[in-house]
Structure 1
Amino acid sequence: MDGKSVKRGQRILTEKPFAFVLKSQYRLERCDNCLEATKVRKCSNCRYVSYCNRSCQTQAWAQHKHECPFLKSIHPRIVPDAARMLCRLILRLQHGGDLIRGYYTEHGSRKFRDLMSHYAEIKNDPKRLEHLDSLHAVLTDMMADSPSTVPNKSELMSIYGRLITNGFNVLDAEMNSIATAIYLGVSITDHSCQPNAVATFEGNELHIHALEDMPCLDWSKIFISYIDLLNTPEQRRQDLKDHYYFLCVCSKCRDPKEARQMTAAACPNRKCSASINIEWNNCKRCSVGISPKLRNAYNEIMALTKHNLEAMKDVACKYLDVCKVCLDKQAGLMHPLNVWHVKTLDAAFEAAIEVGKWEEALDYGQQLLPGFQMYHGQWNPLVGLLHMKLGKIQLFERHHKEASHHLEEAQRILSVTHGRDHRLLVEQLYPLIFQARQEAN
């Protein structure tokens, strides 16, 4: 525990990864070391990884030299990201990594073995065991020329367990996952659906910023969110149980009001803005009745929305027409703060940007703000980025006053979540604010 008080926006931890792997889908367009999206050149030996310059290649060599022959041996096949990450962890541990400490205070530190492995839970989890078997097969194939490098099943399971329950998705400036990493020090932090700290990234470096004032830096009271908060408490709890093997008991998950709000229907009385439970017989505010026909229509659009959003989940380009159909059918049935309506607006906003329909994007983005603010909280990078995107579009559309408002809101939030010196602000946000002020005059 550090006796000094902590201010909102203060960076309380900066850490380099113990091990990390760029996602294979980006290996021809991002540097395998700094993760920068730029022109890259392949490693001349394995022809699998690429670097932006000689300096990055030299920095990466300490770890890459051990995996390079194994990647070369199976070229040109693509190695699953989890298999490459396991390979890197195995090699790191076999070359002294088991002694490395990640510090979260001047004296507080953690080694890889201090991370929870959830060995017992994984041993009784058929899906995890099947995944581990497939990764073991890949590693055995990769390391065929050095079979003794592959740990026994028990040791491999303990490494795998530490990876899946302590791994971070490394995010780019747009909050897209571009890599997987293990950070030793920050593994001290627990989860909350109402976090008081946030993890952001600059390249492969992790930063933790405080989201509220604290009397002192006590890591037992620092919480970050492990999951997407734009889900019902039931879904969040299930995600945490499936992935991290614990039941979340935070105040947000135990709040029945949030669960009701997230699945709320709109009152059939257009003059009433109340949110209703579709199973009720009438609205608690205006007493208008809820008919079986309305209930069926609501359940149908809920099912359609879930199906369409699931179908678009892993598609880079969201389908604007599909989003529009869902939004049209949701009108008058789903409350504006229904989480599935909010998710649809989010998909429509990104889809409209993708195809350059700026006025439509503005409309969706402005409708999206209340839901994002309610479910993500005021101090969240996604809320800051939404303001930044809205400001950027309004600047392009020459709505200078509105642009300035959103860009200044983005600055207020992102200064806390990322820090004033983060590249996202320095290279993107500050120039936009300057441009908006110049053009407003």
Structure 2
Amino acid sequence: LLKTPYERQTELLENYYFLCECDRCFGDIQIKILHAAKCPNQKCDNPVKISWKDCDLVRKPKDESKKNGYIKENGDSNNESEKEESECNNKSEIEREGECSACGTKCTDKQIEVFKKAMEFTEMHLQKMKNVDVCKFCLEKQEGILHPLNVMHAQTLDHAFDALIQVQLWETACLYAEKLIPCFKFYYGERHPLLGLLHLKYGKILLYKMDLSKALEQLKLAEKILKITHGDRHPLYKEQLLTLLSQAMLES
């Protein structure tokens, strides 16, 4: 789920031979944020659209544009007024490129260029992000440029968090976990096992650091999710989570 709808749909199409048209794949909010830039206005958290690559974010069915039952099979309209309306909409969409739809702040040419370079750099290194230094370098390039929920930023944080655990850099891992939790909630939802595992990992690190109140908070969040997703008889829940939860409660 931590991918673009196009990538998810392609995997389903190749393995299960159907094109997914669910609300999640076609949801406007997610599509708007997937490759979004951060608004230059520090007080605004609205995503800003900047085209950086000629790629599709979602696969649309060939007959998707059947409006009023009067559309050709290739998606071209037989109605001239509809064509004109579509052209006007496309024009206004282009004009809004690089401009925040909430506060009206416009990105400078330099900011747009920096965003494009950050996205291209991240895409190039995304498959090699087992290395902590590569992850950190990518995140430095993304800082203040990519929207906090941008899918590539989320993927980088995910790789970075796992890499930091491997090398036991707990302080930085905690910082990245805080940023990663909202991303997981946005892409996976409130009751996904991967979100539960993230809370568990984060809580375990906090417990190791003796930050007991925060550790207890994270482990309780993990317990609520994993009890549903895994069940109270699963070894992860029964042997690992409950043990850590008991330890956090006793020590606090």
| d(CA) in 2 for partners of 1:231, 1:388 | 23
TM-score, with structure 2 as normaliser: 0.79
Q: Please give the alpha-carbon distance, in whole angstroms, between the structure 1 residues aligned to 2:98 and 2:247.
A: 54
Structure 1 counterpart SS, 2:23: coil
**Residues 357-366 or 230-239, more deviating:** 230-239
Query: For the Cα contact (< 8 Å) 2:48–2:98, is it kept in 1?
Result: no
Runs of 5+ unmatched residues, structure 2: 52-96
Whole-angstrom distance in 1 between the partners of 2:128 and 2:249? 41
Q: How does 1:83-232 map to 2 (within 5 A)?
A: 229-232=1-4
Alignment TM-score, normalising by the size of structure 1: 0.46
Per-residue deviation at 1:332? 1.3
Task: For residue 271 of structure 1, report the CA deviation from its aligned partner.
Answer: 2.3
Paired with 1:367 and 1:407, the residues of 2 have a C-alpha distance of: 17
Pair 1:307-2:119 in alignment: no
1:15-414 matches, cutoff 5 A: 229-279=1-51, 280-312=97-129, 318-414=130-226
Q: State the 1:415 CA deviation.
A: 0.3
Deviation, structure 1 residue 414? 0.2
- CA distance, structure 2, for counterparts of residue 285 and residue 256 of structure 1: 16
- Shift of the alpha carbon at 1:232? 1.2
- Aligned counterparts, 1:425-436, within 5 A: 425-436=237-248
Shift in Å, 1:410: 0.5
Higher-strand-fraction structure: 1
Are 1:420 and 1:426, in contact at CA under 8 Å, matched by a contact in 2? yes
**In 2, Cα distance between equivalents of 1:327 and 1:311:** 14
Deviation at 1:286, TM superposition (A): 1.5
Q: CA–CA distance in 2 between the matches of 1:366 and 1:403?
A: 13
Residue-pair matches, total: 207
> Distance in 1 between the 2:100 and 2:153 partners?
20
The one-letter code matched in structure 2 to 1:335 is H
Q: Which amino acid aligns with 1:401?
A: S
Segments of structure 1 that go 5 or more residues without pairing to the other structure are: 1-228, 313-317
Structure 2 distance, partners of 1:252, 1:385, is 22
- Conservation of the 8 A alpha-carbon contact between 1:268 and 1:288: yes
Q: Which has the higher helix share?
A: 2
* Aligned mates of 1:296, 1:241 — CA distance in 2: 35
SS in 2 for 1:272: coil
> 1:358 Cα deviation (Å)?
0.5
Q: Distance in 1 between matches of 2:148 and 2:48?
A: 11
Percent of residue pairs identical:
43
Partner Cα separation in structure 1 for residue 143 and residue 159 of structure 2? 16
Residue deviations 1:74-121, cap 9 Å, x none?
A: xxxxxxxxxxxxxxxxxxxxxxxxxxxxxxxxxxxxxxxxxxxxxxxx
Whether the 8 Å contact between 2:49 and 2:99 is mirrored in structure 1 is: no
Letter in 1 for 2:217: H
> What is the RMSD computed on CA atoms of the aligned residues?
1.1
Larger Rg: 1
The answer to whether the aligner puts 1:437 opposite 2:249 as a matched pair is yes
**What corresponds to 1:158 in structure 2?**
none
Instruction: Give the match's secondary structure for 2:24.
Output: coil
Please tell me whether the aligned partners of residues 278 and 290 of structure 1 are also in contact (alpha carbons under 8 angstroms): no
Mapped partners of 1:417, 1:340: distance in 2? 26
Runs of 4+ more than 4 Å apart: none
Residue 238 of structure 1 and its aligned partner are, at CA, apart by: 1.7
